[in-house]
Chain A
Amino acid sequence: MLLIRCPWCGLRSESEFHCNGEVRPIRPHSSSLTDQQSVQHTCDRLNFKGWIEEDWCHSKGCGEWFRLNRHTVTHEIDQD
């Protein structure tokens, strides 16, 4: 089990958090996108072994959203 640091609550157990996946660019307004760009936005993922930046939410706690770096093989996290 990972211990994750919520910016408000401090170190808490992973089961209190929800991982929203890799940080993605904000979706541009659909009127300015071609179909292909829109598909790229939804489908394109790096999916590699190594460090990725993710969005997490302390969903069963205070509800704060924050970012952290996690390694996709070792599951180590880096919040500095």
Chain B
Amino acid sequence: MKPNQRYSLAALAQGALRNHQNWDRAWQSPPLKPQYDVVIIGGGGHGLATAYYLAKNHGIRKIAVLEKNWIGGGNSGRNTAIIRSNYLRQDSIRFFDKSVQLYETLSRELNYNIMFSQRSEVDILLTNTSMRNMRRRCFNMNLQGVDFKMLSADEVRQRIPVLAPMKECRLPILGGSVQSRAGIARHDAIVWGYARAASAYGVDIIQNVVITGIRRAENGEISGLNTDRGLIKTNKIATAAGGENSSVAEMAGIRLPLQTFNLQAFVSEPIKPVLDVVVNCPDLQVYLSHSDKGELVVGGITDAQQISFRRGGKLAVLDSTVAGLLELFPTFRRLKLMRQWGGALEFARDGSPIISLTPIKGFYVSAGWWGGFKAIPAGGLTLAHTIAKDEPHPLSACYRLNRFDTMNFLMESGTTVPIH
């Protein structure tokens, strides 16, 4: 295995002298081997981060990441890239804040610029219910020593001057809340950065491979998998298949408490800088940020209750998201929308993810990631620990699968919309 070429200003300058013909491939895609120590199904952020931490922290080298399409083509390449840790319960706050902390040093660690911009997320609150919910979140966050604070209506307007003037508002702004370490990062860079760093440790990243079955030995333990490129022997398989963990688990012979819904987002044409924070409005069910390219990146709620793997977007949801956007920002009404897309998001019954061992020895799950872009570093770190040690990582023990058997639900919901 060959160490990565270092990305730096000097390397860039050298490249300029050679017409940029000097760059190596960022990651290797060797042919599939017949046997691995660990096989990870799904080349999204979670799968690739897991491979990286397995190699780096646990010294496991024979790892394959099997991706049926191309890496980052799932939700990791379709999200609105918001990173925050303003969750409700102490276990979730700890886990997601660890993830924010890992993001803070990730560019340096991976030698890959992930463009993490901690520009703050400001929640605009229009009802007493939202004020109460956010204040509760605020108390819990502060108890964990994580930054989060309430804002007055005036402070909200100072942070976001482009908001509609008071006299034009249907619902007056009562106040707000802010996490100043929250922000956005470049989603592709997370995927490619982890892929490149994992590849340097010798992880095989295999794209366009179809998994046709998961094999179990007579004692029930995992023994391998069948693919369109032949049989692979392995005693450990982890599924990190984004919206499709149910079907992978079905191949192994277990059912997971998951449902997959569609979530959409869209972007406007590029405009000059108007917004330097991430804005979220739970009452109007809309959130947005201004990307480095100048586009407003806007998202709303899921197509509720309808199981969907279509990865599209319903017009009615687009319509109500735009209505909410224009209520807050009437000046955006003449902007053209350029692109709209969707992703198939998984929800566990209690709204929290699953990072866990399963009743099948050698089968591990990372699932239920409806807001899991922000969780990629911590998700990878803790799943790698779970796989290597065959026991949960202390940070993710709260996300074990058997919490459903004992009804130890960890109820969480989004900040844009509650999850039922």
A residues neighboring B (CB under 8 Å): 1, 14-15, 18-22, 35-36, 39, 42-49, 52, 54, 70, 72-75
Residues of A within 8 A of B405 (CB): 35-36, 39
Q: In the docked arrangement, what's the CA distance between A17 and B258, Å?
A: 24
Q: Fill in one digit per residue for B229-265: 1 if any A CB lies within 8 Å of its CB, else 0.
A: 0000000000000000011001000011111100000
Cross-chain contact A73 with B314 (CB below 8 angstroms): no
Cross-chain contact A49 with B257 (CB below 8 angstroms): no
Which bucket holds chain B's interface residue count? 20 to 34
Cross-chain contact A1 with B307 (CB below 8 angstroms): no
Residues of B within 8 A of A18 (CB): 305
Interface residues of B in 250-305 (CB under 8 A from A): 250, 255-260, 304-305
Cβ distance A49 to chain B, nearest Cβ, rounded Å: 5
Q: Fill in one digit per residue for B399-416: 1 if any A CB lies within 8 Å of its CB, else 0.
A: 000001111000000000
Q: Is B112 an interface residue (CB 8 A)?
A: no
Closest 3 CB pairs of A and B: A43-B257, A47-B246, A15-B316
Can you report 21 A-B residue pairs in the complex whose CB atoms are below 8 A from each other?
A14-B314, A21-B259, A21-B306, A35-B406, A39-B405, A42-B349, A43-B257, A44-B257, A45-B255, A45-B259, A46-B246, A46-B255, A47-B247, A47-B258, A52-B307, A70-B306, A72-B307, A72-B310, A73-B310, A75-B308, A75-B312
Cross-chain contact B305 with A1 (CB below 8 angstroms): no
Cβ distance A41 to chain B, nearest Cβ, rounded Å: 11
Name the contact of A1 in the complex, choosing from B247, B259, B316 (C-beta under 8 A): B316
Interface residues of B in 332-366 (CB under 8 A from A): 349
Residues of B within 8 A of A46 (CB): 246, 255
Cross-chain contact A49 with B247 (CB below 8 angstroms): yes
B residues neighboring A (CB under 8 Å): 246-247, 250, 255-260, 304-310, 312, 314-316, 349, 404-407
Cross-chain contact A75 with B349 (CB below 8 angstroms): no
Residues of A within 8 A of B250 (CB): 48
Cross-chain contact A21 with B305 (CB below 8 angstroms): yes
User: Contacts A1-B315, A1-B316, A36-B405 given: A47-B308 contact, CB under 8 Å?
Assistant: no
Q: In the docked arrangement, what's the CA distance between A43 and B308, Å?
A: 18
User: Contacts A1-B314, A1-B316, A39-B407 given: A48-B308 contact, CB under 8 Å?
Assistant: no
Cβ distance A66 to chain B, nearest Cβ, rounded Å: 15
Kindly name the residue among A15, A44, A45, A73 whose own CB sees the greatest number of chain B CB atoms within 10 A: A45
Q: In the docked arrangement, what's the CA distance between A22 and B305, Å?
A: 9
Residues of B within 8 A of A73 (CB): 308-310
Q: In the docked arrangement, what's the CA distance between A14 and B317, Å?
A: 11
Cβ distance A12 to chain B, nearest Cβ, rounded Å: 13
Cβ distance A45 to chain B, nearest Cβ, rounded Å: 5
Residues of B within 8 A of A54 (CB): 306
Cross-chain contact A44 with B255 (CB below 8 angstroms): yes
Q: In the docked arrangement, what's the CA distance between A71 and B334, Å?
A: 36
User: Contacts A48-B246, A49-B247 given: A22-B307 contact, CB under 8 Å?
Assistant: yes
Cβ distance B39 to chain A, nearest Cβ, rounded Å: 23
Name the contact of B308 in the complex, choosing from A22, A36, A44, A72 (C-beta under 8 A): A72
Cross-chain contact A35 with B309 (CB below 8 angstroms): no
Closest chain B residue to A47, Cβ basis: B246
Residues of A within 8 A of B309 (CB): 49, 72-73
Q: In the docked arrangement, what's the CA distance between A14 and B402, Å?
A: 37
